[in-house]
Amino acid sequence: MKPDTLDDYRRRMLRVLVHIQRNLDRDLSLEELARIACFSPYHFHRIFRGMTGETLAVHIRRIRLERAALRLATTRRAILDIALEAGYESHEAFTRAFGAMTGLSPSRFRERRRLVSENGTARVRFDPEGGAEDFQPIDTGGSNMDARMETIGPLRVAFVRHTGPYDECGKAWGTLCAVLGPKGLLGPDTRFLGLCHDDPEVTPPEKIRYDACAVVDERFQPEGEVGAQVLPEGEYAMALHRGPYSGLAAAYAELCGQWVARQGREVASAPSLEFYRNDPNTTAPEDLLTEICVPLEPAE
């Protein structure tokens, strides 16, 4: 662990948390917050989740609801006005969200004059003064993560671009294998990987870009929907994820927001790679092995 580097990450994230607290009535874009923290916009959301334990959207929504709870308990303002300030377009939507957080309807909460409990897992609570100075990054064991730094590439790959939800990328893989198989370019040693252009936790599902790839040599030339590209050499932070693909988001968050921070390195603004060690069509979800690889800026 490098305490000075981890503290630098904490100070940069603190700037973001304070900015959110002081600008709850504005639209807060990922790009704006990443710029404030001086983190790569591409991977900022993963760093944020890794350090706070929440996605950016969940954090902002919770802080706005906590502010609403304070206003319900300490003012006589109309519930609808408070709901609109919290970003909800109707009393009903606000009531559902508020009830999910507190277990009470807004009116019942006001009757009891309750404040949101300070107990719980949230790292940052709403502060009327707009502060978050006591923030400490969450620690889920990232310092002990099964991770390493390694140089990858250059790699020549055949690929098929998929645009849309990740769970619908099977067609791209089918197209890729249907072209490479008859050419004798698939075998037990073929390396399969995904080139992930977008973070599915912040990109609308219909706009997610993903390249289904297989490493090939110069014998392969583009054909139909199957193109060829060379992934340049670069240094990556790598970790082996064991289990279903649904757990990849948490693994990325831990790698970016905890492990990399402790190595004194910066995540680069470039796509991540996923190497698939076994076949999801013949492997139980709990036995899937995926090597996630996050690009790093050159070491100083």
Contact between residue 116 and residue 66 where contact means Cβ atoms under 8 Å apart: yes
| Confidence (pLDDT) at 263 | 87
| Confidence (pLDDT) at 101 | 87
Mean pLDDT by 10 residues, the chain (300 residues): 70 92 91 92 90 91 90 87 91 92 88 59 63 64 76 96 93 96 92 93 88 95 94 96 93 90 86 95 95 90
Phi, psi torsion values for 171, nearest 5 degrees: -60, -40
| Confidence (pLDDT) at 118 | 46
| Confidence (pLDDT) at 200 | 84
CA distance 249 to 246: 7
- Name beta bridge partners: 156: 230
Indicate the pTM of the whole model.
0.76
Instruction: Please name the residue that has the structure tokens 């508020």.
Output: 98
CA distance 248 to 82: 37
Phi, psi torsion values for 201, nearest 5 degrees: -85, -10
